Structure 1
């Protein structure tokens, strides 16, 4: 339970940090787009619904840890890909969209694997286990939003991308130290 909860805390914190700061970034001086552009960019996240069944099948075939490893590596790569936002214009927006899509898929796929682990622990306590797990995940998401805004204010978009990579890297480190 603790392993799955901590993994999701870190990856969902990275996800929330990126999405919160992305709205500030593309509506700010770098792009000067309106809030509808944030909504359009968020539509790329809808593609993650196609990744969820794939993540479930991979979890069944390859195991929870293998899927979580791929998800954490994907989140680190997403943070690096988000740096292409500095290109500006269409190229920067494509990079931002691709990075956010990868981060969305990594977060959602990790969620599938982590919930499979916790729900298998004690079938008669599934609701309690899921409540504890989801509480941890959303606390991580809240902390990520808070950290994302602070990173953006202090270090700009590069700081947010670094934060995403740091949080996902911590998930990888936790896995290596288990």
Structure 2
């Protein structure tokens, strides 16, 4: 795959600060133009379209990401990207609809393992205030598969000002893991692996 794509992925993966739960503007306009300029030999496949949707979303370009995701909403990966985009624009019920359409996406197992391990090792959940967000994060450490709907509900509560700064940081880190895992999966699919 094109070295430029890998450079774009690395720039997005290491961006600081982490992506907001509800971005309100494109993070890097020049990078968005670079993503738009990517030419893939299999550009009309669901995998290539999903890659563009994902990279634009990771750069907080929600409208462009949405236009790509709509082209492949029949595809589980396209449905997952579609759900993430709606979650970031705070359309939580629509996000959960698209997560249901994505079904038991293969990325959910890897994401669950990574998220639960990280929460157990790095997050001090006992320091969070009692409430729905803490309960959701504690559930992540015990559940067998990533639950996009429950995570969406946790983000909704945070965005309704029911969470602390610490819970926001934890949710942003988990969202970053989710994006990283889904981009990796989408990139492998676009490469034909």
What is the TM-score when the length of structure 2 is the normalising length? 0.32
